[in-house]
Amino acid sequence: MDASNRPDFEARGIGPLRPYGPDGEAMQYYPLPGDVLDDSDALRVWVEKAIEVARRKKGKRRSPAGA
C-alpha cells in the first residue's frame, strides 16, 4: 500500500486492518473489499496495483551492510 492505491481503499470507506478492535493498533495492511473477491476481473486490477507497489518498495530497499 502506498499513495498510489490508498485512495482506492479510502473511496470505499476501508481503513487499515485493526485485528484487536476499533481502539487497537492499526496495521499497515488494508483488507480487500468483498465484492472485489467475487469478481476476478476487478480482483486482477487490485492485485496488479499491489504488485506495482511491492516492486517500487523493493527497488527502494538497501542491501544490508556488508552484503
4-52: pLDDT as tens digits: 999 999 999 999 999 999 999 999 899 999 999 999 999 999 999 999 9
Is 66 part of any domain? no
Residue 41, SS3? helix
pTM: 0.73
Q: Tell whether 14 is covered by a domain.
A: yes
Does residue 65 lie within any of the structural domains? no
Residue 49: inside a domain: yes
Task: Tell me if 20 is assigned to some domain.
Answer: yes
Please tell me the distance from the alpha carbon of residue 12 to that of residue 5, in angstroms, as a whole number. Answer: 12
pLDDT tens track for 49-60: 999 999 998 887
Q: Assess if residue 1 is contained within a domain.
A: no
Domain that holds residue 52: 6-60
